[in-house]
Chain A
Amino acid sequence: MTEPAAETTVGVVAHRSRLRTTAETVLRNRLAVFGLVILVLLVLVALAAPLIAPYTINQVDVANRLQGPSSQHWFGTDELGRDVFSRVIIASRVSLQVGFVSVGIALGLGVPVGLIAGYYGGRIDSILMRLMDILFSIPAIVLAIAILAALGPDIVNAMIAIGVVYTPIFARITRGSVLTLRDAVFVQAARSIGASDLRIIGNHVFPNVIAPIIVQTSLSLAFAILAEAALSFLGLGVQPPNPAWGRMLSEGRAFFQRAPWMAIFPGLAIFATVFAFNALGDGLRDALDPQQRSIIESRGRS
């Protein structure tokens, strides 16, 4: 009875040292650390937004409309005299929420599909992956627009649409990694002692394919936030009067010449968030999965 315990200890040690090496490699990458710092700040700002925001998001003050940045209004005011800074930081909550939930949906759907397709192979694999190919063959933003046209413009539907759009990426990456493991000795060993498929997939295969999934998660968060911005720019995401970066950009267009800050600051916020997730994702890839600079990555933006 001592053997399993010993195995577990070895496993834990190996796991810990891998985690440490990964963390060390990521922390040595200046760009990744920079991304991580921005992200931590962003999350803190999003969490504390109602406390930090100097004004409420819909505090109309027509007398002070379209004012440039000043000590009272750091990012200026919009056409109704609302404080752009307050709206930008409150909107960070929506962007991050949509990002995390939609990537969560993509992970929740894509990873099991990839595990099953890769592990069982054969016809199941063909059917599942052809289905993923079909979803993959409609450019992301167009598919999201089409889904939202059918479901109706709304924040929850936007999360579902973005989640569905990025599902095939996770399915492909997971399947690719599972394929290399299917005939690994430890999988055969587990099979030979009569472990069930569920157990083999859950306890042996999955832990070994996590690295590329983590990398893709960070990169996908960047894409998801861009997608959310594009959809809310088109009026298909968050509905007014709630602020979203993309919406603020599109509203700011009408006042372009008089109040450029209305378009500059929300755009900078999108850029900073996407940049941070990309930088962290790159750093994670260098640490966890140096082989993979996949084609799939380039599809994210389409």
Chain B
Amino acid sequence: MTGFVVRRIGQMALALLGVSVIVFALIHFVPGDPVRTALGTRFDPDVYEALVRRHGLDRPLVIQYFSWLGSALQGDLGVSFRSGQPVTGLVLERLPATLTLAGAALAVALVVGVPLGVVSAVRSGSKLDYIASAVSQVGVSVPDFWAGIMYILLFSLTLGWLPPSGYVSPLVDFTGWLRHLVLPALAVGLVSGSIIFRFVRSAVLEALNQDYVRMARAKGLSRRAVLFDHVLPNAWIPIVTVVGLQLGFLLGGVVVVEIIFAWPGIGRLAYLAVGDRDFTVLQGSVLYIATMFLVINLVVDLLYAWLDPRVRYD
């Protein structure tokens, strides 16, 4: 297991290094001078000079990369071309909102996807299975941002039940926080839930068709015992994987949904940085999102190896 863990961490470090090259290169793909572009009409030679010097943009690319990487490893992602604030601070400020939305959406997805998936598989071919499968087919095809708009239209503007957008800190107003969270969490969570449903259903169906399940039934075990002792433990692995991937995706920020609900998360930060041509902020947020994604993948893989010894020896 130790060997597997070390190898897997090494792979992640390598991927992260690659991501850092891409993220760094981004800024240099911009036609012309990124700082000049970012400053636009507010161009001021002194600010310009300061930014160029602060980020070492007058030095050779290779040196720039390594000094940027060195700072990034120490948590310094430079300062915003626009506001002059440290990028790390800007990213960290957005963390609570992103974590809240990711957690709530995942909760929705699990509550909807897992039990329905198991029941659909156990009663495969039943009316319930048919309806649930059809609904999930719709769920994976609906753009989450359009679903968000429709929820706002229905629940906020027409029925007036929930606020249409915005975010309040749970420390200031807990009920308000919860009320603002419901619609974005549903918009994202129901899509993730549909994806999870499909995986759970097919993983359980596959486990149900194994010889050891037939054997357990032949021994006269109750349906319940067969399901909980034989089917589910073997269906966990694909389920853990897909849940992990969904979580990685949610933590990365669901850009468009965040924008629709004016949710101050990382995805929205990255998007606003594009509009402002604030490249250091864009670099910082993309680097954060990719790191998050890689770490979750690592955790999932380790969990996988722990659940299934065959993976470790592969």
- In the complex where A145-B255, A146-B286, A260-B153 touch, is A137 in contact with B146 (Cβ < 8 A)? no
A217 to B290, CA, bound (A): 25
- Residue from the list A134, A143, A235, A301 in contact with B18, Cβ < 8 A: A134
Assess the A142–B286 pair: CB atoms within 8 A. yes
Assess the A293–B199 pair: CB atoms within 8 A. yes
Say whether chain B's binding surface is mostly helix, strand, loop, or mixed: helix
A104 to B310, CA, bound (A): 37
Assess the B293–A234 pair: CB atoms within 8 A. no
Q: Who on chain B is nearest to A293 by CB? A: B202
- In the complex where A146-B26, A152-B31, A234-B255 touch, is A229 in contact with B143 (Cβ < 8 A)? yes
What B residues does A31 contact at CB under 8 A? 137
Assess the A151–B191 pair: CB atoms within 8 A. no
What A residues does B18 contact at CB under 8 A? 130-131, 133-134, 137
Least Cβ distance of B273 to chain A in Å? 8
A222 to B138, CA, bound (A): 12
Least Cβ distance of B152 to chain A in Å? 7
- In the complex where A130-B18, A260-B153, A295-B245 touch, is A270 in contact with B143 (Cβ < 8 A)? yes
Q: Which of A31, A139, A235, A299 has the most C-beta atoms of chain B within 10 angstroms of its own C-beta? A: A139
Question: Is B246 in contact with chain A by the CB < 8 A criterion?
Answer: yes
Assess the A278–B15 pair: CB atoms within 8 A. no
Question: Is B234 in contact with chain A by the CB < 8 A criterion?
Answer: no
A251 to B72, CA, bound (A): 38
Least Cβ distance of A87 to chain B in Å? 16
What B residues does A278 contact at CB under 8 A? 137, 140-141
Q: Who on chain A is nearest to B282 by CB? A: A149
Question: Is B253 in contact with chain A by the CB < 8 A criterion?
Answer: yes
Assess the A301–B274 pair: CB atoms within 8 A. no
Q: Which of B143, B282, B290 has the most C-beta atoms of chain A within 10 angstroms of its own C-beta? A: B143
Question: Is B241 in contact with chain A by the CB < 8 A criterion?
Answer: yes
Assess the A150–B141 pair: CB atoms within 8 A. no
- Residue from the list B241, B245, B256, B286 in contact with A302, Cβ < 8 A: B245
Assess the A301–B195 pair: CB atoms within 8 A. yes
Which residues between 63 and 102 of chain A lie within 8 Å of chain B, taking CB atoms? none
Given contacts A142-B270, A253-B260, A295-B245, 5 further A-B contacts (CB under 8 A): A138-B290, A151-B29, A152-B31, A267-B149, A293-B199
Report A's interface with B, CB cutoff 8 A: 31, 130-131, 133-135, 137-139, 141-143, 145-152, 222, 226, 229-230, 233-236, 249, 253, 256-257, 260, 263-264, 267, 270-271, 274-275, 278-279, 282, 293, 295, 298-299, 301-302
- A sample of 16 inter-chain contacts (CB < 8 A) reads A134-B15, A134-B18, A137-B15, A137-B293, A138-B290, A139-B290, A142-B270, A233-B145, A234-B274, A253-B149, A271-B138, A271-B143, A271-B146, A278-B137, A295-B245, A302-B249
Report B's interface with A, CB cutoff 8 A: 11, 14-16, 18-19, 22-23, 26-27, 29-31, 137-138, 140-143, 145-146, 149-150, 152-153, 157, 191, 195, 198-199, 202, 238, 241-242, 245-246, 248-249, 252-253, 255-256, 259-260, 267, 270-271, 273-275, 277, 279, 282, 286, 289-290, 293-294, 297
